[in-house]
Amino acid sequence: MTGLAAAGAALREKPYLTPYAEESLDLPLAFEWGEGVPRLTYRDALPQEWMFGVLWARCGTAREGKILWNMVHTLRQRRCMLKRLCRVCGRTAIDPDTGRVCWVLPSALAGDFRSPWPTAHPPTCEAHVGEALASCPYLRREAPVVCTVGDYSPIGVLANLYGEDDSGRVVETHHQIAVGLDESHLLPRALAIQLIVQVGDLQPAPHLASRRRVVGRP
């Protein structure tokens, strides 16, 4: 196997966005009082664990061990969104010639490229559109649309909400719901697991979907 082929095989085994079992960490959640309202925190919280006014789920970064194929690594997902990196290889998804970003969006877009569209799914570089379409269970189910994006901005988080029971224990009250960055009444109780951005200035790019696909694991 050539060096290039070996690199490709390794990539198919280790997609950038996908977490590993060994990256799961304990979440010592607690509530603290600030500005008159309880705020979700960790008992040993660090300042960088908040972004956009919300606490983020902790993750390891070892990328070793059993791959959790149907899950998303919180910090790598957020990094992809903010830096416009490819969900497959973790490198830039920005076209150096046009400055536009290659993105795969769900079929619900239904050809309406005029309206902004919210998504929690990171970009995909042109080189890996085929692999993403072939290997991602969600994308296979949704018959997605391949397009390029000229504008995007963070608008919310996919999060779990927490409260306290009668004994003072921190308990989950809502699982994986969308919370807007302007919903100040919910953000203090939220543990963010994915960043949601709104993409705009969309242009269809169906020719990218016809590139050679590499079938990965389900």
Q: What is the pLDDT of residues 86-130, one digit of tens each?
A: 999 999 999 999 999 999 887 656 556 777 889 999 999 999 998
- Cα torsion 96, 12, 153, 42: sign: negative
Half-sphere exposure of 58 (CA within 13 A, CB side): 17
State how far the Cα of 112 lies from the Cα of 215, in Å rounded to an integer. Answer: 29
Ranges of residues in the chain whose predicted pLDDT is under 50: 1-13, 212-218
Question: Which residues, 6 or more positions from 23, have their beta carbon under 8 angstroms from its beta carbon?
Answer: 59, 60, 61, 62, 63, 65, 73
- Say what the pLDDT of residue 194 is: 98
Count other C-beta atoms under 10 Å from residue 214's C-beta: 17
Q: Is the Cβ–Cβ distance between 127 and 163 less than 8 Å?
A: no
